[in-house]
Chain A
Amino acid sequence: MQRLNDPVLVVQGLTVYRGTHLAAQDISFTVPAGTDTAIIGPNGAGKSTLIQAVLGILPHQAGQIMALGHALSDRGYLPPAVRQQIAYLPQNFLLDRRIPITVSELVGLGWDRVGLQLPWVGSRARRQAVRAALTKVEAWHLRDQLVSSLSGGETKRVLLAYCLVRPRALLILDEAPAGLDVRGESEFYQLLHQLKQEQGWAILQVSHDLDMVRRSCDRVLCINRQLLCEGTPDHALAPEQLSLAYGPDLVRYQHNC
């Protein structure tokens, strides 16, 4: 477990191209342990590209990414022990419905190491970890169901269990609560809060829900291909800052019901 506020992720001068298109330019930020950092910005601002580059899914053309003190190589390599401590929940998890995989199997994949290993090694510990993770997200009853038969909300809970099945230091979410109902979303953020407070997880999440960001996050990065502002929600979500990213015509409606 990281000590509170130890830097878990340090990004310096990151520049990413998608083909010939400049998606992120000279972006720097730090994500400390025990904090929840939101990335906000308009559509096409490069939010998903940024986190995919941070994870090594996309190559970066300039800058440096340090995860848990280890530099991500140009080819996206991080030591397996570091990778084990990072969990990622993608924006669109569109599982081919013809793939036969049960909920238990999918969550178990989050527990497994991905290097060479005999498939039956650690199966007892794996089962216990899967049970604990599914219980935590209240999805134990779904364990034998095919993932393809789940609803959108159930799939999100199962994917969260995939992330929780092992202790992590960094959880990266790309619009993760999309598809959850009000209760599911509330439980989702409660769980994130618990992981952050009790286990010191650092959370980096892309979100379009500015009210949630104001309520739940500790820091906000506002980007539109480059870092426009960074700070506490009160600072970064101030109208003058938001207009930098979304344009001067942005009107935010406050719901006071």
Chain B
Amino acid sequence: MTLAIMPALVVTAGGNRYAIPQVSVLELVRLEGNEVDHSIEKIQNASVFRLRGDLLPLIWLNAELKAAGGNSITQVNEEHEVANIVFLQAGDRKFGLVVDEVNDTQEIVVKPLGRQLRGIRTFAGATIMGNGEVVLILDVLGMALHSHVIPALRDENAITNNFSPQEPVLERQSLLLFAGPDDTRMAVPLSQVMRLEEFLRSSLERTGDREVVQYRGEILPLVNISTLLPERRLRPRNPVPEGETNKTIQVIVYSKESYSVGLVVERIIDTVEYSTVDLRATSCKGASASAVIQGRVTDILDLGLICSSLESVAIHRQVNEKVKV
């Protein structure tokens, strides 16, 4: 299984945001004022920090990303009035990465970089933030190698045990698995997924006969997956206990040309790599194929197909845009 959705710590360095896989983050330390000079010690030009008895090397993300001959990233913050240190685990080594700012943690959808950038070891991919901004995901091990925190010789063993860039395999497809109504299993190709969001039920509003939610300054129409698909099973396999209603809804955001649609699903489960040759034809409306995934029959939906069929209804708010077409 490829880890394609993961929690990440979002940091800022040199004016740009970067995502660090949470699985590699050990802890965060923030130093202010005098502490900065006191706590960061120097061995010649190498900075180190004592973290509960361990002497750990420190590197500055700004400085590491300033490449000789490559793209120059704006100013390194030489005035160390504040130091935000993210302690990371790379293979069996620990080190501290100094960043300008620690923003927050988020669930991110990992997207692979294009062929042009696969040679760059320091990035594991990229993701799209809520505001549409593309943010690079640091490859912690790659970063450690780049900055010589880990000597190059050992890297091959270490790499196999770690999160490394996804190599898209031919005829394989990343699927996002989710539970539909009555615990049916469904999936959509991850390439069609723009974002995964969770909204409070209390934030839902209505326009006309449609449920909507405010999203990125726009109105996102919501479509419940259960209303789209004729349900065949009468009794749920694993019934949800009575009276248990969730406060939040999970939404898959699909975006195309000028509009976005939020598909409300019961529960987002996982992502899997699936070989497209094992797909079976399906009679389910809106689904492109069926397959057995994790022991369950799973309909693979085509979001494009579904959304185009409901375009006329769901996108009524965009009447103005449609008129000019």
Q: Do these two chains really belong together in a complex?
A: no
